[in-house]
Structure 1
Amino acid sequence: MGLRQVWRFNSFRRTNVILQHLGMSKHTDAAGEVLLERRGCAGVITLNRPKFLNALNLNMIRHIYPQLKNWEQDPETFLIIIKGAGGKAFCAGGDIRVISEGGKANQKIAQDFFREEYMLNNAIDCCRKPYVALIHGITMGGGVGLSVHGQFRVATEKSLFAMPETAIGESQGLFPDVGGGYFLPRLQGKLGYFLALTGFRLKGRDVYAAGIATHFVDSEKLDMLEEDLLALKSPSKENIADVLDAYHTKSKIDQDKSFILEEHMDKINSWFSANTVEQIIENLQQDGSSFALEQLKVINKMSPTSLKITVRQLMEGSSKTLQEVLTMEYRLSQACVGGHDFHEGVRAVLIDKDQSPKWKPADLKEVTDEDLNNYFKPLGSNDLKF
């Protein structure tokens, strides 16, 4: 073997050792969009598309799901940590442009993406190992689905949470999916209805105050927190909670700040306890305060179909299990991708970027109960099953 061959063999071996060390020998996927590593006592998932704010695509879902199931069975893995690369985002949502383009050409990408994404959301909810999501940076749409169903969610001062689907902001449907129909109506009062219908953004400690995060940690301590979790020896759920609690208690940023919506909560609870979008709009108009009118302006820009779907989704979801909600949301996702407003929203926000979608129908009055019922109809053999 010549020197060059020895060198090549050694660098090949070194690469292999590194890959094995990363637990990635089996997971060298398209440009490493998601990294799956065994470190210390934990399985670590890193969403690795920082240029795209770690937006979730089907390839990533197809790597995460089986690995999550493997770690769940593995007696050496005691917890699972999920985080985003690049520092700007945990995950800014699902890669909806691809779904829109695929959905126009053929329904299959939209069927597969939503089906497998919701299966993953459910797997996170059912996960028998403690699951810790480090929701540092932008966390919207699909990123919410990867975190909020897990046992522990750690926010930092850089966290930015929103469910902007009704405006088809950075995310992926025309209603707050990924189990939004389950977790949003279970937030305090009518906060979830408010967040779903306005796409209001919560930042930093407010993500914790709203009940979306279970802990708050100053971002400069995040790496240390992760190291401390990885260093635990055969930890129980309680051991993990103790570490998170200790960091939470010591975090100083915005410690004394009250919840940004605190002063508005009584009004939010009364405005959004109406059973119809029309009545919510009327409540906001009658109130007439600058905060109410600001929300009204936002709601009036949204897709009327979306608004009606969302109110019904949250009302029905408030008494369903997560699996029942995901089954309902899968029906909605397929109807939305088959409809006009989803593609129009993607066009206005992501493709032409003119920010002025032309919704059809353009008026709430034109969205009939019959239209609405069609969105919620079972799909027979195509229904999502667990």
Structure 2
Amino acid sequence: MGSEPHSQVLVEETSSVRILTLNRPKHLNALSFNMITRLLQLFLAYEEDPSVKLVILKGQGRAFCAGGDVPAIVRDIRLGKWRRSADFMSLGYNLHYVMATYCKAQVSILNGIVMGGGVGVCVHGRFRIATENTVFAMPETSLGIFPDVGASYFLSRLPGFFGEYVGLTGARLDGAEMLACGLATHFVPSTRLTALEADLCRVGSSDPVTYASTILDAYTQHPHPKQKSACHRLDVIDKCFSRRTVEEIISALIREGRLQGLGQCLIRENRMVAHMMKGDISKDFVEWDPRRLEDMKDNMVDKYFKRVEEEEGWEDLKLPPRKHLPASAIAKL
């Protein structure tokens, strides 16, 4: 593993498929600035290349991706370079938007840990493959921030109030639970992944979406969530998490996201994360301040949703123009 972007994202090419492997296994493939830059560069290039039909994304080692490079972000903030961290987050949001509106099929293989920022680089793609090794979570609330990477879009669209439960508690889900709630599109045993990849690479001149769907359907299994799974307690979850008693950012964040497109959600999340990095409303991310929920006042919450006022001209997120929009992406705008 090196510091160069090409070594942190490995590329394998076949005639019509590109296999990208996140390659920071000692860091559970946490996303660095180089990795996000490289992924965005590759995805945009493949969109313009008529020979590329499918893009497969996976991780090296025991994680798909455990999130963003939090230590680097915190280090920048403590050095007074909050804008560098905010720019890093904005770049990631651009990548998520490109993936969500991608004109070619993205197949993400989630054979291991997939958390936080790692969710952002797979959940917006068309196909998301869980296995018996998958461990999913959006643990941001335990870090003093909020579930971002478009979570106000995709969590708000889970059954009932399951998204509020996952976002507020940071609950861990296994592969069967991801499949049950729709976060995963398929479940394939890890022992079958090598054969699956080989079959996907035979797409040839076939319609890639139809071909990938047919192959994945042939490999997929339908495991039932375990007896103690939260998936079996949706009635209790809906009763508890439908209430507006938690006066915290995430409550408003996810509820508003139900009525908005992904682009609007990402722009709002980008404002919020910029305030987090700047520390102008609270310093919860680096100092756990405020320490109690009751100290988080309504007017403080409201400020997180407003534009960041910055002498140097901080601007709202500008999402990249998309000229190859597939029909399936229109509803996400």
Structure 1 residue 44: Cα displacement: 1.6
In structure 2, the partner of 1:111 is 86
User: Is 2:66 the counterpart of 1:126?
Assistant: no
In structure 2, the partner of 1:333 is 273
1:97 aligned partner, one-letter code: P
Distance 1:259 1:184, change over 3 A: farther
CA distance in 2 between counterparts of 1:276 and 1:226 reads 46
| Residues 20-59 of structure 1 mapped to structure 2, 5 A cutoff | 29-30=4-5, 32-59=7-34
> Pick from 189, 198, 214: which aligns with 1:242?
214
CA distance in 1 between counterparts of 2:259 and 2:318 reads 19
Contact 2:46 2:52 survives alignment (8 Å): yes
- Gaps (5+ residues) in structure 1? 1-27, 279-307, 345-358
> What is the TM-score of this pair, normalised by structure 2?
0.88
Q: Deviations over 1:322-365 (max 9, x none)?
A: 01000011111111122211113xxxxxxxxxxxxxx3222322
> What is the TM-score of this pair, normalised by structure 1?
0.77
CA distance in 2 between counterparts of 1:362 and 1:256 reads 35
In structure 1, the partner of 2:327 is none
2:71 aligned partner, one-letter code: R
Q: Deviations over 1:282-324 (max 9, x none)?
A: xxxxxxxxxxxxxxxxxxxxxxxxxx11111111111111010
CA distance in 2 between counterparts of 1:72 and 1:185 reads 29
> Pick from 194, 210, 214: which aligns with 2:165?
194
1:226 aligned partner, one-letter code: E
- Counting aligned pairs with the same residue, the percent is 41
In structure 2, the partner of 1:24 is none
Q: Would you tell me which structure has more helix in proportion to its own residues?
A: 1
SS in 2 for 1:185: coil
CA distance in 2 between counterparts of 1:175 and 1:79 reads 32
Contact 2:145 2:276 survives alignment (8 Å): yes
Contact 1:206 1:259 survives alignment (8 Å): no
CA distance in 2 between counterparts of 1:201 and 1:385 reads 32
CA distance in 1 between counterparts of 2:82 and 2:226 reads 47
In structure 2, the partner of 1:92 is 66
Q: Deviations over 1:113-137 (max 9, x none)?
A: 1010000000000100011110110
Q: For the aligned residues, what is the CA RMSD?
A: 1.9
| Residues 178-189 of structure 1 mapped to structure 2, 5 A cutoff | 178-189=149-160
Contact 1:328 1:376 survives alignment (8 Å): yes
In structure 1, the partner of 2:289 is 360
Structure 1 residue 111: Cα displacement: 2.1
| Residues 3-82 of structure 1 mapped to structure 2, 5 A cutoff | 29-30=4-5, 32-82=7-57
| Residues 309-320 of structure 1 mapped to structure 2, 5 A cutoff | 309-320=249-260
The count of residues paired between Structure 1 and Structure 2 equals 309
CA distance in 2 between counterparts of 1:257 and 1:338 reads 42
CA distance in 1 between counterparts of 2:87 and 2:278 reads 14
- Gaps (5+ residues) in structure 2? 320-333
| Residues 250-289 of structure 1 mapped to structure 2, 5 A cutoff | 251=221, 254=223, 260-277=229-246
Contact 2:83 2:278 survives alignment (8 Å): no
In structure 1, the partner of 2:323 is none
SS in 2 for 1:154: strand
CA distance in 2 between counterparts of 1:260 and 1:84 reads 26
1:48 aligned partner, one-letter code: N
Structure 1 residue 256: Cα displacement: 7.9
Distance 1:197 1:115, change over 3 A: same
In structure 2, the partner of 1:19 is none
Structure 1 residue 259: Cα displacement: 8.0
2:318 aligned partner, one-letter code: K
Task: Determine which structure has more spread, i.e. the larger CA radius of gyration.
Answer: 1
